[in-house]
Amino acid sequence: MSETSHIPFREVPYLPQKINIDHRSDGTILLDNGQPLKAHPPHMLWPLKHWASTAPERTWLAQRDPVDSSREGWQEITYAEAWDRVQAMAQGFLNAGVDAPVMILSRNTIDHAIVMYGAMLAGLPVVPVTPAYALLSQDFVRLNYVDKLVEPAVIYVEDGVEYQRGLDGMQTADRLVLYSRNAPQGYNSQSLDEFAVMGGNSVAEAYDRLTPETIAKFMLTSGSTGEPKAVINTHGMIAANAKMIRSVWDEDKLSVVTGDVQVMCNFLPWSHTYGANAILHNMTDWGGTLYLDWGAPTPARLPEMIRNMKDVSTTQHTTVPAAWAALATEFERDEALAETFFKRICSMAYGGAAMGQDIYERIQNVAVRVTGTRISLSAGYGATETSPTASNVHWPNDTMGLIGLPLPGNTFKLVPAGEKLELRVKGVNVTPGYYRNEEKTRAAFDEEGFYRLGDAVRLVDPEQPEKGLAFDGRTAEEFKLANGTWVSAGKLRVQAVQAVDGALADAVVCGLNQDEVCLLGFINEGYCQRLVGETLPMETLIAHPKVIDAVRVGLKAHNTAHPNAANRIARILLQPTPPQADAGEITEKGYINQNKSQALRATEVSKLYDARVSDMIIVL
**pLDDT tens sequence across 187-203:** 999 999 999 997 778 99
Q: For 25-70, how does the pLDDT look when each residue is reduced to its tens digit (9 = 90+)? A: 999 999 999 999 999 999 999 999 999 999 999 999 999 999 999 9
Can you state the angle between helices 321-333 and 302-311, rounded to 10 degrees?
A: 70
pLDDT at 225: 47
Is residue 581 pLDDT above 80, yes or no?
A: no
More confident residue, 115 or 529: 115
Angle 110-121/45-54 helices, nearest 10 degrees?
110
% of the chain at pLDDT higher than 90:
74
Lowest mean pLDDT, pick from 83-92, 306-315, 356-365, 367-376: 356-365
What is the rounded average pLDDT of the residues 336-343? 97
- Residue 379: CB atoms within 10 Å: 26
Q: Which of these, 85, 142, 88, lies nearest to 110 by C-alpha position?
A: 85
Q: In Å, how far from its chain's centre is CA 46? A: 24
- Of 42-56, 307-321, 476-490, minimum mean pLDDT range: 476-490
**Averaged pLDDT, 311-316:** 96
524 touches 497 (CB < 8 A): no
CA distances from 400 to 16, 304, 397 (A): 21, 27, 8
| 280 and 60 Cβ atoms separated by less than 8 Å | no
Is 1 a residue whose pLDDT tops 60? no
> What string of H, E and C letters represents the secondary structure of 468-521?
CEEEEEEHHHEEECCCCCEEEHHHHHHHHHHHHCCCEEEEEEECCCCCCEEEEE
Largest CA distance in the chain: 74
Task: Choose the most confident range, by mean pLDDT, from 98-102, 201-205, 321-325, 505-509.
Answer: 98-102
More confident residue, 591 or 325: 325
2 band by pLDDT with thresholds 50, 70 and 90:
low
269 pLDDT higher than 90:
yes
Per-residue pLDDT, 559:
95
| Residue 394 Cα distances to 255, 526, 566, angstroms | 17, 32, 33
- Domains in the chain: ranges and CATH: 19-42+234-474 (3.40.50.12780), 60-210 (3.40.50.980), 481-619 (3.30.300)
d(CA 591, CA 116): 26
Q: List pLDDT tens digits, range 201-238.
A: 899 999 999 999 999 999 998 654 457 899 999 999 99
- Please tell me the least confidently modeled range out of 23-27, 257-261, 431-435: 257-261
| Banded pLDDT at 298 (limits 50, 70, 90) | confident
User: What is the distance between the alpha carbons of residues 609 and 228, in angstroms, rounded to a whole number?
Assistant: 31
Q: What angle do CA 9, 11, 15 make, to 5 degrees?
A: 115
pLDDT bucket at 143, cuts 50 / 70 / 90: very high
Q: For residue 400, what pLDDT band results from cuts at 50, 70 and 90?
A: confident
Query: Is 582's pLDDT higher than 60?
Result: yes
Question: Closest by alpha carbon to 309, among 319, 300, 299?
Answer: 319
Q: Strand ranges (DSSP E) for 48-113?
A: 59-63, 75-78, 102-105
Residue 81 is predicted with a pLDDT of 98
Q: Enter the DSSP assignment of 383.
A: -
How far apart (Å, rounded) are the C-alpha atoms in residues 110 and 81? 11
Q: How far is CA 578 from the centre of its chain?
A: 18
What pLDDT shows up at residue 103?
Answer: 98
d(CA 598, CA 601) in angstroms, rounded, equals 5
Residue 222 is predicted with a pLDDT of: 66
Mean pLDDT within 477-501 = 84
Q: How far apart are CA 29 and CA 14, in angstroms?
A: 25
The set of long-range contacts for 578-581, using a CB threshold of 8 Å and a minimum separation of 24, is 578/505, 578/522, 578/525, 579/506, 579/522, 581/130, 581/132
Closest CA to 219 of 228, 227, 207, 211: 228
pTM for the predicted model, two decimal places: 0.86
Per-residue pLDDT for 249 more than 60? Answer: yes
Distances (CA, A) of 577 to 252, 261, 262, 520, 552: 48, 42, 38, 11, 20
Q: What contacts 184, CB < 8 A, 6 or more positions away?
A: 157, 160, 161, 163, 164, 167, 177
The pLDDT of residue 224 is 45
Instruction: State the Cα–Cα distance between residues 266 and 388, nearest whole angstrom.
Output: 17
CA-closest candidate to residue 580, choices 506, 497, 477: 506
Residue 154, pLDDT > 90, answer yes
The whole-angstrom separation of Cα 115 and Cα 98 is 13
pLDDT at residue 588 greater than cutoff 80: no
Q: What are phi and psi of 11, to 5 degrees?
A: -55, 125
As a whole number, the mean pLDDT across the chain is: 92
Angle at 394 (CA atoms; ends 390, 396), nearest 5 degrees: 150
- Is the predicted pLDDT of residue 590 greater than 70, yes or no? no
- The reported pLDDT for the residue numbered 591 is 65
Average pLDDT of 278-296? 97
What's the whole-number mean pLDDT along residues 579-604? 79
Give how far the C-alpha of residue 363 lies from the chain's centroid of Cα atoms, to the nearest Å: 21
Q: Identify the three-state secondary structure at position 48.
A: helix
Question: Which comes out higher in pLDDT, residue 146 or 613?
Answer: 146
